[in-house]
């Protein structure tokens, strides 16, 4: 298998094939600079009636309407945050569950404001198509804003004691989500490159610095010694390029647990010591976590960018917790480990949630970090083990254990060379490996499983496979999941996929398989839903690292091996 690390070539950009594009644009002018009435333009968005009600009545071009929708969205996001904080100011009168759900909404609303400010800076600067990479950046942010809205609503809906709060927030949540959908549709129409456009992919100067693998001169001698030991002796970040490359780091600290021989005794203190809002030009802030069990709920906030965590290996460095929905946490905040800071990297760490199947939703890792990478990590839980929440993510050579919907969320996520282990669930339950949560046809999100191995965990295998195990089920209306070049053992049910609730989403989902192998990969008796298909190589190429998450532009700096295209 060829592993592509640094050599990038000119390739066709296939992301916007028919099932990636906006709905039919009807008689909307092909040029976004042509004036058009809002009624005509709104035919191209998921909710035309709402779109027409919020856009200015005078004719304008798609760029004008797009900028208007971004500005209006930014204003509405601030109003919604103020409303959430008003409820939180009354938290002494609210239940613990309601407060936790509101705190989720508060965090997500703050992220939305950031994403919309970034989007506004981009769209007000040009009346022309963006580069593919910049367009993907903004489309990713706008997709995440809609996901954040849905996550806030989900938390309120599953918290029975939050009924009054939910009643007060449901209308603004719904209307703002419709507005963000308009914003995403207009951005896609005006600023995203047309399909089949060929682009030259070049490494930036920053990526060349990472590629050269030089340690910074200002790095302390102690940090340099430890870092070189990690890279050389422990061989934690091996590559296929000769083994002489190093990750560029700005500084390094060690977490010692109770031993007292490191810089910090717990992981969160080490995270707090990392610099804020770095641009990565000086490299990663590296946190080395030696072998041991760390009973700690870890949260990496949005300002701790370019942070790398390296452990001593799966089942050696273990971060563990046991929060669950059954114990009054929302799914979102039940995570043992949560990260939202961009450009995060984790290597050789086990993440666990030990609540068990009986506690239902109990997340081991929640990942809402753009351009994040997990390499040789293990995720262990039962229901909802790995919450691939939003933005662009890459997982390589990881082990993932679970039962019901154990990989779920609405990120654009690629799992490559990973091991997926369905476990024995509670009596009466079935296993679903994925539950992808795409809610809008213009979101560039989905779950891509490539060259992985699906194999029953020991407890399921010893039960003689009496539990049904499915590749996935549609959590939301436009759920999108593909399996490519993956081994599937006999635990996979011949139907392959499972309904969520009757015929919900069966015509709007996108579920597909390509060139899989093993006894569970036979497609002869697969579901016959309108949204299910067997892909050809051209279709499958859309879900590779290079095309689906534009990985050639950001994974090389991590020195983590990956395959750019089909294998």
pLDDT at 245: 58
pLDDT, tens digit (0-9, with 9 covering 90-100), for 226-243 = 455 445 433 444 433 334
From edge to edge, which strands make up the β-sheet containing 298-300?
Answer: 298-300, 337-339, 365-367, 386-388, 404-409, 431-436, 469-472
Q: How confident is the model at residue 32 (pLDDT cuts 50, 70, 90)?
A: confident
From edge to edge, which strands make up the β-sheet containing 399-402?
Answer: 292-295, 317-321, 350-353, 378-380, 399-402, 419-422, 453-454, 487-488
Helix (H), strand (E) at residue 484:
strand 480-484
Of the candidates 104, 154, 251, 405, the residue annotated as catalytic is: 405
pLDDT, tens digit (0-9, with 9 covering 90-100), for 448-460 = 999 999 999 999 9
What is the pLDDT averaged over residues 187-196? 81
pLDDT, tens digit (0-9, with 9 covering 90-100), for 301-310 = 999 999 999 9
The pTM is what?
Answer: 0.88
% residues pLDDT > 90 (the chain) = 74
pLDDT at 258: 67
Angle between helices 96-123 and 62-88 (to 10 degrees): 160
Q: Bigger pLDDT: 59 or 118? A: 118
Q: How far is CA 127 from CA 74, 130, 192, in A?
A: 20, 9, 11
What is the pLDDT averaged over residues 190-208? 47
Phi then psi for 155, rounded to 5 degrees? -65, -40
Contact 484, 518 (CB under 8 A): no
End-to-end CA distance of the chain: 7
Instruction: Work out whether strand 350-353 and strand 317-321 pair parallel, antiparallel, or are unpaired.
Output: parallel
What is the pLDDT averaged over residues 188-204? 56
Residue 342 DSSP code = S
pLDDT, tens digit (0-9, with 9 covering 90-100), for 123-182 = 998 888 999 899 999 999 999 999 999 999 999 988 766 677 888 899 999 999 999 999
pLDDT at 262: 78
Residue 497 DSSP code = B
pLDDT at 211: 32
What is the pLDDT averaged over residues 525-540? 97
Q: How confident is the model at residue 30 (pLDDT cuts 50, 70, 90)?
A: low
Our answer to whether residue 47 is catalytic in this structure is: no
Check pLDDT > 70 for residue 31.
yes
Give the whole-angstrom CA distance, residue 482 versus residue 471: 9
pLDDT at 22: 38
Give the whole-angstrom CA distance, residue 32 versus residue 536: 33
The alpha-helical segments, DSSP class H, found in 35-162 are 38-41, 48-54, 62-88, 96-123, 132-157
Instruction: Work out whether strand 198-199 and strand 11-12 pair parallel, antiparallel, or are unpaired.
Output: antiparallel
What is the pLDDT averaged over residues 494-501? 98
Give the whole-angstrom CA distance, residue 442 versus residue 23: 8
**Angle at alpha carbon of residue 339, lines to 205 and 116, rounded to 5°:** 70
Check pLDDT > 50 for residue 4.
no
Phi then psi for 384, rounded to 5 degrees? 65, 50
> Mean pLDDT score of the chain, rounded to an integer?
87
């Amino acid at each position: 298998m060829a592993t592509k690390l640094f050599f990038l070539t000119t390739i066709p950009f296939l992301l916007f094939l028919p099932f990636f594009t906006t709905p039919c644009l009807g008689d909307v002018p092909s040029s976004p600079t042509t004036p058009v009435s809002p009624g005509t333009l709104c035919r191209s968005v998921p909710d035309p009636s709402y779109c027409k009600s919020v856009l200015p009545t005078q004719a304008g071009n798609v760029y004008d309407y797009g900028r208007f929708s971004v500005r209006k969205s930014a204003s509405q996001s601030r109003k919604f945050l103020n409303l959430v904080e008003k409820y939180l100011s009354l938290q002494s009168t609210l239940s613990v569950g309601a407060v936790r759900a509101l705190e989720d909404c508060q965090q997500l609303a703050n992220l939305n404001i950031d994403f919309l400010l970034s989007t506004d800076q981009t769209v007000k600067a040009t009346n022309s198509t963006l580069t593919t990479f910049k367009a993907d950046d903004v489309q990713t942010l706008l997709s995440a804003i809609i996901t954040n809205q849905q996550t806030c609503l989900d938390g309120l809906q599953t918290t029975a004691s939050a009924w009054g709060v939910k009643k007060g927030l449901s209308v603004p949540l719904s209307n703002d989500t419709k507005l963000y959908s308009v914003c995403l549709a207009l951005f896609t129409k005006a600023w995203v490159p047309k399909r089949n456009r060929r682009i030259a992919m070049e490494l930036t100067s920053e990526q060349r610095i990472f590629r050269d693998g030089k340690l910074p001169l200002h790095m302390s001698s102690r940090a340099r010694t430890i870092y070189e030991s990690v890279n050389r002796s422990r061989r934690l970040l091996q590559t296929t390029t000769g083994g002489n490359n190093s990750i560029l780091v700005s500084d390094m600290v060690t977490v010692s647990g109770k031993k007292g021989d490191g810089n910090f005794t717990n992981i969160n203190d080490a995270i707090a010591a990392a610099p804020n809002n770095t641009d990565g030009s000086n490299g990663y802030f590296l946190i080395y976590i030696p072998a041991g069990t760390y009973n700690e709920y870890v949260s990496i906030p949005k300002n701790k960018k370019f942070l790398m965590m390296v452990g001593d290996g799966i089942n050696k460095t273990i971060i563990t917790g046991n929060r669950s929905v059954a114990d009054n946490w929302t799914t979102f905040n039940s995570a043992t480990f949560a990260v939202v800071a961009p450009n995060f990297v984790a290597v050789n760490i086990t993440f666990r949630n030990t609540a068990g199947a009986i506690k239902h939703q109990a997340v081991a890792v929640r990942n809402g970090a753009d351009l994040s990478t997990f390499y040789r990590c293990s995720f262990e839980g039962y229901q909802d083990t790995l919450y691939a929440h939003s933005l662009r993510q890459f997982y390589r050579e990881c082990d993932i254990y679970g039962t019901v919907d154990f990989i779920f969320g609405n990120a654009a996520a690629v799992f490559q060379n990973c091991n997926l282990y369905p476990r024995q669930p509670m009596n009466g339950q079935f296993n679903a490996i994925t539950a992808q949560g795409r809610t809008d046809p213009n979101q560039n999100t989905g779950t891509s499983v490539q060259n992985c191995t699906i194999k029953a965990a020991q407890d399921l295998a010893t039960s003689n496979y009496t539990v049904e195990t499915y590749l996935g089920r549609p959590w939301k209306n436009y759920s999108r999941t593909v399996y490519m070049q993956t081994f599937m053992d006999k635990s996979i049910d011949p139907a392959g996929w499972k309904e969520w609730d009757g015929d919900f989403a069966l015509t709007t989902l996108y579920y597909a398989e390509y060139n899989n192998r093993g006894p569970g990969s036979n497609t002869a008796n697969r579901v016959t839903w309108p949204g299910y298909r067997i892909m050809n190589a051209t279709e499958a190429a859309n879900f590779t690292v290079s095309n689906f998450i534009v990985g050639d532009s950001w994974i090389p700096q991590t020195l983590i091996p990956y395959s750019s295209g089909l294998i």
